Copies of this chain bind each other. A is one copy, B any other.
Amino acid sequence: PPCTDFDMAYFHSYAHVGIHEEMIKDRVRTETYRAAIMHHQQYIAGKVVLDVGCGTGILSIFCAQAGAKRVYAVDASDIAVQANEVVRANKLSDTVIVLHGRIEDVEIDEEVDVIISEWMGYMLLYESMLGSIITARDRWLKPGGLILPSDATLYIAPITQPDRYSESIEFWRNVYGIDMSAMLPLAKQCAFEEPSVETISGENVLTWPHVVKHVDCYTITRQELESVTTRFKFKSMMRAPFHGFAFWFDVEFSSPEIFSNDNNPPSSVIESPNEHPTNGSQRKKRVNPNEALVLSTAPEDPPTHWQQTLVYFYDPIEVEQDQQIEGAVTLSQSKENPRFMNIHLEYASGGRSFVKESVMR
């Protein structure tokens, strides 16, 4: 696709150092990637790697440290200039080749054994670079090559968040003794019209999450991403004011089956039946070192710079324990700006049904 003005603005924003500082300082993110690279050292040592959206080049350097023969580090943003300086200062210019351009435009004259990328956006798909991974995979990945991460899963769950509601909304009912309830409609609109990126905890989640989309990086197509729809049905595990829905994701770093089937038993065999079923992602990280590494952004896991993405209702719905919440969600590209995401939510509970449209800008 041609490079639009929106793309230009997006790439330019990534030249700002603060964004890279924040991502690198997210230790959950960076250390999980480093662990995944070291865990897959046998697939990287002596091989050709492509790092899509390399930023400051940190993942490319980890791959070089893991013994990669050659790493192509590609970024369309001006940060590529810095990545090149970092690579040179670390005397890795023979191994890491920084290419400043869009993945659709750069030239690489060989196939690659491994594609690595930290492509995930807020709620996985917002401003994500997954399209670029697909392009890179289809242009250069060898048959049987490795993609890190291999899988990604986006979740949705109903949440209660009384503190936030009270701070931004109920607050107006008594302001230094003055009744400012007249502010409530505008306060609700300002606070809750758009999705909100914030950190919640496991206690805010009313029940197990539902999978909105599972992405297999080996097979996903651009067409599949244009619009994602799923129906959900939840049963609240508690009586609570239901304030909205939270989205979060995890990504897995699994080895291709052709390699891993020999040594690793199927994961179901090693799952511990005593563990709580919500701890799936943590279990994978800890119980068995041969299991896939997971980078989770779930509310019950340590916070990351992705936090969680919340879509609040203007008014909470009081739900009883075991009360059903059902509906559907559709995520699609905004026509206003292809980097924006429309979130269309329909939900019903206790005999009432609702629609919430919001745009993540």
Give A contacts to B, CB under 8 Å: 16-18, 20-21, 24-25, 30-31, 34, 56, 58, 61-62, 82, 85-86, 88-90, 168, 171, 175-176, 178-183, 186-187, 189-191
Contact = CB atoms under 8 A, between A and B. Distances in A.
A175 B60 CA distance: 13
Contact of A178 (B21, B90, B191): B90
Given A31-B176, A62-B176, A85-B183, 15 more contacts: A17-B186, A17-B187, A20-B183, A21-B168, A21-B187, A24-B176, A34-B176, A56-B183, A58-B178, A86-B178, A86-B182, A86-B183, A88-B182, A90-B178, A90-B179
A182 B21 contact: no
A305 B148 CA distance: 43
A57 B62 CA distance: 57
26 contacts: A16-B190, A17-B183, A17-B189, A17-B190, A18-B190, A18-B191, A21-B168, A21-B171, A24-B176, A25-B171, A30-B176, A31-B176, A34-B176, A56-B175, A56-B180, A58-B176, A58-B180, A62-B176, A82-B186, A86-B179, A86-B182, A89-B179, A89-B180, A89-B181, A90-B178, A90-B179
Instruction: Count this chain's copies in the assembly.
Output: 2
A187 B16 CA distance: 8
Nearest to A19: B190
A85 to B, nearest CB: 4
Nearest to A188: B17
Contacts of A62: 176
Contact of A85 (B16, B90, B182): B182
A167 to B, nearest CB: 9
| Interchain residue pairs A-B with the least CB separation, the first 10 | A85-B182, A17-B190, A86-B182, A89-B182, A17-B187, A86-B180, A17-B186, A61-B178, A82-B183, A16-B190
Contacts of A61: 178
A357 to B, nearest CB: 20
Contacts of A189: 17
